[in-house]
Amino acid sequence: MMDLQGKVAVVTGGAGGIGRALGRRFGREGMKVVLADVLAEPLEQATRELADEGVEVLAVLTDVTDYASIEALATEALARFGAVHVVCNNAGTGAVSEGYMWEHDLADWRWGIDVNVLGVVHGIKAFVPILLEQGDGHVINTCSGNGGFAPIARGAMGGPATAVYPMTKAAVLCLTESLHTHLEMTGTRVRAHVLFPGGFLNTGIWESWRHRPQRYAATQQRRTQQATLAGVVARFEAAGAHVEFTPLDAVADQVLDGIRDDRFWMIGPPGSADQVVSSKAASILARGEPDYLVDVLGAHTGKASDEGGKR
């Protein structure tokens, strides 16, 4: 376990919900913080918030889909602070597709894969050599129970949920497992971790469509309205599910505890996600049907503190 005081953390998606909470928490631990995000105004606000708390903070406008942009982020972080010890590949984009997966817009697939998967790959490629050179450090990739454990196949209204998002998060888990093994093979003390943010979280991910880049503009006529967080909450409540937001600081705690305990799996307390994992393992071992697939409402009903139905 590394003493975090005075060390340097880089957080992609650092202007948004979880990333912003991570930056705040790292700052309170006495770390220097580099916030990276594609949205200029929220990035500026998040940076000001940390600076006002007395944290040494650097903001770098970054697009994780562009490798040159991530390389520039690493260069700027090193130029300012001289080292990088904790890298959170956290930037992500949420569900925007409609209909069955064969009806999803190809632009939705490209956007989701580029941000959620290649963004993490870019972070690993740019930062791991720096950490290896230093001989110490932590790489934390933000996954989700939605895909990381099993896809949410049905949405809140019983129709099909996006297939894009869970596919990207399954990839994040898989590539973090590979990273763990590859790091171990080198004998380094650099460690890989996979983060499963737990609970129902009030973040921008539910409405990612609001910041859809022109480069990934939709190519199909939309038939249904885009989701809003208020709309999702209303649907849950109409179905009798109690909605209570988990504080984002709880996710930051998961990360800090995971670093301190040197834990690969950064997962919250046992809950419905554990059930999905064990029934999935049982289904595979029995060569049975994938009967562990849950719908977003089922995963949430009465279990607001569990991972499972998240974006």
Residues forming the active site = 165
Our finding on whether 255 is near ligand NAD (CB under 6 A) is no
Place of tokens 């957080």: 11
Work out whether 37 is an interface residue with ligand NAD (CB under 6 A).
yes
- C-beta closer to ligand NAD: residue 138 or 286: 138
What is the nearest approach in angstroms of ligand NAD to the Cβ of residue 205?
A: 3
Q: Using CB under 6 A, pick the residue from 7, 8, 11, 16 that binds ligand NAD.
A: 16
What is the spatial distance between Cα 23 and Cα 90, in angstroms, rounded to a whole number? 11
Q: Does 18 bind ligand NAD (CB under 6 A)?
A: yes
> 92 with 69: CB under 8 angstroms?
no
Cα radius of gyration rounded to whole Å, the chain: 19
Amino acid at 288: G
97 near ligand NAD (CB under 6 A): no
- Nearest C-alpha neighbor of 96 from the set 161, 156, 170, 150: 161
Stretch that binds ligand NAD, among 34-42, 175-183, 269-277, 279-287 (CB under 6 A): 34-42
User: Should residue 62 be labelled a site residue for ligand NAD when binding is judged by CB under 6 A?
Assistant: yes
Q: Pick out residues in 98-127 that bind ligand NAD (CB under 6 A).
A: 115
Cα 309 from Cα 205, distance rounded (Å): 13
210 burial (CB, 10 Å; 0-12 / 13-18 / 19+) is exposed
Return all residues near 234 (Cβ < 8 A) that are at least 6 apart.
none
Applying CB under 6 A, among 47, 97, 162, 203 the residue interacting with ligand NAD is: 203
Choose the binding region for ligand NAD from 9-17, 126-134, 220-228, 285-293 (rule: CB under 6 A).
Answer: 9-17
Beta strands in 103-190 (DSSP E): 138-142
Please report whether residue 93 would count as binding ligand NAD according to CB under 6 A.
yes
- Interacting residues with ligand NAD (CB under 6 A): 12-13, 15-19, 37-39, 42, 62-65, 90-93, 115, 142, 144, 197, 201, 203-205, 208, 211, 310-311
